[in-house]
Amino acid sequence: MDKVQIMRQIEFMVEVLQQVTGLAREKRYQAAMSLIDESLDKLFGLNGTLITGLFGREPLSQLTFGEEADLSQAKLIAAAALLKEAGEIQTEQGEEVESFRSFLTALELLLTALLNHDNSPLPEYAPEVDELMEMLADWHLPTHLNKLLLRYTHKLGRLDEAENLLFEMIEQEPEDEEILQIGITFYQLILEESDAYLEAGNLPRAEAEDGLAELLAHRK
């Protein structure tokens, strides 16, 4: 594991994001977007348009396929930060569809990194999941992204949020057997935990048991 390479990556990103922020503040949007594209190309050999074009077509985890976990996570978080900045610039310019795709892609990259993260401190520039969700509040999120969000909220113990996401997906795609199985597995896993864990996640045992029963009945 090359810790030096990761530290260089972090130092590079701090410098780039400072430059992007400065250019955006001066309303030099084209220069800022060019710098974002150049930085993404250094990370993955793809510019921002190509990366956002992959969204929904290929798992974005493939961007770092074969790399060591720590370096992969560092790159994915760096790309998420860059695309968040791109989305904010596009919003300033009234490019709503483009900004939506940038924020969506940033969220998938970030969730992919965090789901495999060991809870060690993140770089200062790492975006917040809730911040990106707020930026996407007016938009419908695709199912594959909601699946990642469900896994993320489950990992954090935010069980009521995970359950809400689950039933939103079922409402959108009631015949999707994979979603039903994800839900059943979710309930089975959390019901193995203590009452205290369930209460802390705002999903008491009785409610979780009712949810599981509902999904099992739905599957029949």
C-alpha–C-alpha distance, residues 20 and 82, integer Å:
9
Considering 1-5, 62-66, 163-167, the range whose residues carry the highest mean pLDDT is 163-167
Q: Is the pLDDT at 216 greater than 70, yes or no?
A: yes
87-116 residue pLDDT tens: 999 999 999 999 999 999 999 999 999 998
Contact 60, 25 (CB under 8 A): no
pTM value?
A: 0.89
Contact 160, 201 (CB under 8 A): yes
DSSP class of residue 48 equals H
pLDDT confidence of residue 207: 97
Q: Is the pLDDT at 127 greater than 60, yes or no?
A: yes
**Which tokens hold the place of 43?**
């990370």
Q: Is the pLDDT at 45 greater than 80, yes or no?
A: yes
Q: Is the pLDDT at 64 greater than 80, yes or no?
A: no
Q: Is the pLDDT at 48 greater than 90, yes or no?
A: no
